[in-house]
Homo-oligomer: A and B are copies of this chain.
Amino acid sequence: MSDIPYKIYLDENEMPQAWLNLQACLPEPLDPMLNPQTKQPVSAADMEPVFCHEAVLQEFNTTDKFIPIPQSVRDFYVMYRPSPLVRAYNLEKYLQTPAEIYYKFEGTNTSGSHKLNSAVAQAYFAKQQGLTSLTTETGAGQWGTALSMACGFYDLKLTVFMVKVSSEQKPYRKAVMETYGAKVIPSPSETTQIGRQILREHPGTGGSLGCAVSEAMEVALHTENCRYALGSVMNHVILHQTIIGLECQKAMQKYDIYPDVVVGCIGGGSNFGGLIAPFAVDKIAGEREVRLLAVEPASCPSLTRGKFAYDFGDTGRMTPLMKMYTLGSGFIPSPSHAGGLRYHGMNPIVSKLYNMGYIDAVSYSQLKVFEAAKLFARLEGYLPAPESSHAIRAAIDEAVKCREKGEKKRILVGVTGTGYFDLAAYQAYNSGSMEDGQLSEEELRSGLAGVPKV
């Protein structure tokens, strides 16, 4: 073994003190968000009634390369950060690869994933602005749990609209959120106008993320001192997630190493954007050659099979239009699909960089993903979330290529969360009843047909 330890930690005084604003480092500016009625660019003022003031400022900030992390957020971060950056010695040995594999594991905090990085920031901004409550939606529960923790800490009221079918399948996720003081309402609910309407039109529905978003936004708009918080897709969320990539960069610098390949899973893009940010900046500046590899599920392949176009961010078509890779806002991945990464669109920054060729993308169907997850769990100890396991699968395949070609590449993999809350999926895989989750041409065509003409 070399002199690189299993885990590279940073001391508190080595922790990043500013987020990296990828939007200010792009080779070309982003296409503006558009108002779907007027087709005119959306302004910061348009978004203020919905989102926290500071989040909106960040969403539109195209000038500051670094944005300081407020002291209070840094104080919260050090409660669970730095997350471990681990050299996967056991996996390397098993694969007999000359490649070096490093993984950044975001699953040791109680919310179980990287989502907490943005939840803390958004809750702090709400507190600072004098708000007294937030609303949000959650599907599987990662984001809802993270925001519950953050609101518990900052003493803010939180209402979480949880997709009804998820709240029934995952009662314990609800219990965690309630333990942190959040009010969890299965969606659709009788508590909002849109919820009542949906229930009238679709009695007995299990709900959807799109519907939960609509309810959460309605409550935020009609409650005093209240805003809505979103856990992915938006530029300010990627900004907060750059703490992941910045920690990796700093930890690797301590040992004078730099990755040749950075691999992350991708859904809405916030984890991936945060992981690659410092390396993408070097690549854009022409200072480094580094392969940035986004890994998506074959059942929801927005980058590899989607269209680069203006589309809505939600199923209910309430959001502004964003220029992004999309499968169509009506697209819903197969029910056999496990875990997150089920978003039809993609963050605009990531979309732009992919479109310009700075980012590569691959997709995997889920049996190969779970095979990699089990191997990783056995060799490296941590049980990875299904989402994260997409990146692990791709990293393993990169390392095997290195073995075949005799290349000693350094591979950095983002492992976004723990698989604790996805054991039903592991159970299905173990028992052989899991489907592979391929997307048919017909499903793809029908999704893409819904992309509006702008």
- A378, B180: Cβ atoms closer than 8 Å: yes
Known: A12-B7, A79-B86, A110-B383. A426 touches B179 (CB 8 A): yes
A382, B175: Cα distance in complex, Å: 15
Q: Is A171 an interface residue (CB 8 A)?
A: yes
Q: Is A380 an interface residue (CB 8 A)?
A: yes
Smallest Cβ distance from A124 to chain B, in angstroms?
Answer: 14
Smallest Cβ distance from A379 to chain B, in angstroms?
Answer: 7
Known: A181-B378, A420-B420. A427 touches B172 (CB 8 A): yes
Smallest Cβ distance from A174 to chain B, in angstroms?
Answer: 8
Known: A5-B11, A12-B5. A176 touches B423 (CB 8 A): yes
Known: A175-B426, A430-B178. A6 touches B78 (CB 8 A): yes
Which of B9, B108, B180, B383 contacts A176, CB < 8 Å? Answer: B383
- B426, A176: Cβ atoms closer than 8 Å: yes
- A153, B381: Cβ atoms closer than 8 Å: yes
Chain B residues whose C-beta falls within 8 Å of the C-beta of A149 in the assembled complex: 377-378, 381
Chain B residues whose C-beta falls within 8 Å of the C-beta of A179 in the assembled complex: 374, 377, 383, 426, 430
Q: Is A257 an interface residue (CB 8 A)?
A: no
- A418, B6: Cβ atoms closer than 8 Å: no
Which of B109, B171, B379, B427 contacts A175, CB < 8 Å? Answer: B427
In the complex, which residue of chain B has the Cβ closest to the Cβ of A172?
A: B423
In the complex, which residue of chain B has the Cβ closest to the Cβ of A11?
A: B5
Indicate the size class of the contact surface on chain A: 35 or more
A75, B11: Cα distance in complex, Å: 22
Chain B residues whose C-beta falls within 8 Å of the C-beta of A180 in the assembled complex: 377-378
Chain A 144-181, CB-CB to B under 8 Å as 1, else 0, gives 00000100110000000000000000011011101111
Q: Is A284 an interface residue (CB 8 A)?
A: no
Chain B residues whose C-beta falls within 8 Å of the C-beta of A76 in the assembled complex: 381
Chain A 234-263, CB-CB to B under 8 Å as 1, else 0, gives 000000000000000000000000000000
Smallest Cβ distance from A186 to chain B, in angstroms?
Answer: 15
Chain A 93-122, CB-CB to B under 8 Å as 1, else 0, gives 000000000000000111010000000000
- Interface of A, secondary structure class, is helix
- B381, A80: Cβ atoms closer than 8 Å: yes
- A382, B171: Cβ atoms closer than 8 Å: no
Work out how many copies of this chain go into the complex: 2
A122, B225: Cα distance in complex, Å: 56
Smallest Cβ distance from A17 to chain B, in angstroms?
Answer: 15
Smallest Cβ distance from A327 to chain B, in angstroms?
Answer: 31
Q: Is A424 an interface residue (CB 8 A)?
A: yes
Known: A381-B153, A383-B110. A172 touches B424 (CB 8 A): yes
Chain A 381-420, CB-CB to B under 8 Å as 1, else 0, gives 1110000000000000000000000000000000000101
Chain B residues whose C-beta falls within 8 Å of the C-beta of A171 in the assembled complex: 423, 427
A374, B153: Cα distance in complex, Å: 11
Smallest Cβ distance from A135 to chain B, in angstroms?
Answer: 19
Contacts of A53-80 to chain B: CB distance below 8 A: 75-76, 78-80
A153, B377: Cα distance in complex, Å: 9
Smallest Cβ distance from A9 to chain B, in angstroms?
Answer: 5
Smallest Cβ distance from A94 to chain B, in angstroms?
Answer: 11
Smallest Cβ distance from A42 to chain B, in angstroms?
Answer: 35
Q: Interface residues, chain A, CB within 8 Å of chain B?
A: 5-7, 9, 11-12, 75-76, 78-80, 86, 89-90, 108-110, 112, 149, 152-153, 171-172, 174-176, 178-181, 374, 377-383, 418, 420, 423-424, 426-427, 430
The 10 closest A-B pairs by CB, nearest first: A172-B423, A175-B427, A108-B108, A152-B378, A175-B423, A6-B78, A5-B12, A110-B383, A79-B381, A178-B430
Contact sample, A vs B, 6 pairs, CB 8 Å cutoff:
A9-B9, A149-B378, A152-B378, A171-B427, A175-B423, A180-B377
| Extra inter-chain contacts (19) besides given A175-B424, A179-B426, CB under 8 Å | A5-B12, A9-B9, A80-B381, A109-B381, A109-B382, A110-B418, A149-B378, A149-B381, A153-B378, A153-B381, A171-B423, A171-B427, A175-B430, A176-B383, A178-B426, A178-B427, A179-B374, A179-B383, A181-B378
